[in-house]
Amino acid sequence: MTIRVLGLIELQDQSAFELYRAQVGNTVELYQGSIQSRGTVTEIFWNELCCGAFSAFVELHFPTQALAHAWAHSPEYQALVSIRNKAMKLTLFGVAI
């Protein structure tokens, strides 16, 4: 079963974001994942869950839940968290397809 990991992003620091973005793909690939799409949010139709503001998104694919989980908690990805925290606010979640 394919797992999609979706990220809702509110950019805070563009230069930190570029540094993070240049490195995060390699960490995803180490866990057999891929970045499927990135984009800018153009309109929010409903926000009944009262999510924080977000202006961009990312969609990753992993072949299994175990690999997605391993990536999110990996030392390779955790090494980028301090850069990520400067670059953005992030909500990251997985969905089974």
Q: Once rounded to an integer, what is the mean pLDDT over residues 52-67?
A: 96
Domain residue limits at 41 = 3-96
Question: What pLDDT does 97 receive?
Answer: 87
Instruction: Give this prediction's pTM.
Output: 0.93
Separation of alpha carbons 68 and 61, rounded Å: 8
Question: What pLDDT does 53 receive?
Answer: 87
In terms of C-beta density within 10 A (0-12 exposed, 13-18 middle, 19 or more buried), how is residue 97 classed? exposed
pLDDT digits (tens, 9 = 90+) for 6-57: 999 999 999 999 999 999 999 999 999 999 999 999 999 999 999 988 999 9
CATH of residue 58: 3.30.70.100
Backbone angles phi, psi at 12, to 5 degrees: -120, -35
Question: What pLDDT does 69 receive?
Answer: 98
Buried residues in 4-19 as b, exposed as e (16+ CB within 10 A):
bbebbbeeeeeebbeb
Report which DSSP code applies to 25: H
Q: Please tell me the total count of domains within the chain.
A: 1
Separation of alpha carbons 7 and 59, rounded Å: 7
In terms of C-beta density within 10 A (0-12 exposed, 13-18 middle, 19 or more buried), how is residue 3 classed? buried
